[in-house]
Amino acid sequence: MAIRPKYVSFDCYGTLIHFDMAGAARDLYGDQLDEQAMQKFIRNFSAYRLDEIMGAWKPYAEVVHNSLSRTCKANGVTFKDEDAQMVYERVPTWGPHADVPAGLAKVAKEIPLVILSNAMNSQIMSNVEKLGAPFHAVYTAEQAQAYKPRFKAFEYMLDMLGCGPEDVLHVSSSFRYDLMSAHDLGFKNKVWVNRGHEPANPYYGYTEIADISGLPGVVGL
């Protein structure tokens, strides 16, 4: 049976936008690390970014700086402040996965679209403009003063929309950042976009799609 929520909310980076932190790391350190060491560096960088956002909110530039510094230390690579700044400045240049614009545009004709992103206000709209569909609202971690997976970020979105979790279909490629928290907060309707960077986890109750081209079918379009 198709789901017809009041809103469809999305994680942005990774789900809609090709979030290429791995590419940035390769550009910076690829000449210093062999492929096995590079894979370890990329895994560590991802893990440290998650660790950095679990406490009180801080600007995303600090998240990138601290997580990259810690990753370099763990991997025996020299860290430079300007490297972290380069990574941070790349974020608003990234565009969508190829499947995103057409799928979003089809859904947007019938259901308001919302973004809830671990983003800075100054960065996110550059990415959103590349998505090719109108959004009812774009909410950031800076506005919420909390990063996902903290509940406060989701609660901020619901408060701003004036609705409950039962009214929203939340779409993400990440369990750790989005779908686990959405499950715990009572979001009955969830979509996992299988981008290949996390394994399936059926406990959390979701509809799986390979990419955003499958989303219109989920909502009966």
Q: Is residue 1 part of a domain?
A: no
Helix (H) or strand (E) holding 174: none
CATH assignment at residue 209: 3.40.50.1000
Q: What size, in residues, is the chain?
A: 221
pTM (2 d.p.): 0.96
Model pLDDT for residues 179-198, shown as the tens digit of each residue: 999 999 999 999 999 999 99
Q: Is residue 12 part of a domain?
A: yes
Q: Is residue 138 part of a domain?
A: yes
Q: Quick one: 111 and 32 in the same domain?
A: no
Q: Give strand pairing partners of 172.
A: 192
CA angle at 152 for the pair 101 and 120, rounded to the nearest 5°: 50
Helix (H) or strand (E) holding 137: strand 137-140
- The pLDDT score that the predictor gives to residue 29 is 96
Mean pLDDT of 29-52: 97
By percentage, how much of the chain surpasses pLDDT 70? 100
Confirm if 1 and 157 have CB atoms less than 8 A apart: no
Give the 3-state secondary structure percentages of the chain, helix then strand then coil, rounded to 5. Answer: 50, 15, 35
Q: What is the CA radius of gyration of the chain?
A: 17
How many folded domains does the chain comprise?
A: 2
Q: How far apart are CA 194 and CA 213, in angstroms?
A: 12
Q: Quick one: 126 and 39 in the same domain?
A: no
Does residue 33 have a pLDDT over 70? yes
Q: How far apart are CA 174 and CA 151, in angstroms?
A: 15
- The pLDDT score that the predictor gives to residue 200 is 97
Domain that holds residue 58: 21-93
- The pLDDT score that the predictor gives to residue 2 is 78
Q: Is residue 2 part of a domain?
A: no
Does residue 15 have a pLDDT over 70? yes
Model pLDDT for residues 101-127, shown as the tens digit of each residue: 999 999 999 999 999 999 999 999 999
Model pLDDT for residues 56-100, shown as the tens digit of each residue: 999 999 999 999 999 999 999 999 999 999 999 999 999 999 999
Tell me phi and psi for residue 139, to 5 degrees.
-110, 140
Q: Last residue of some domain: 62, 93, 124? A: 93
- The pLDDT score that the predictor gives to residue 3 is 85
Q: Quick one: 12 and 80 in the same domain?
A: no
Mean pLDDT of 161-177: 98
Residue 214: Cβ within 10 Å count: 16
Does residue 28 have a pLDDT over 70? yes
Q: Last residue of some domain: 68, 93, 118? A: 93
Q: What one-letter code names the amino acid at 88?
A: Y
- The pLDDT score that the predictor gives to residue 190 is 98
Give the model's confidence band at 1: pLDDT under 50 very low, under 70 low, under 90 confident, else very high.
low
Q: Give strand pairing partners of 114.
A: 9, 137
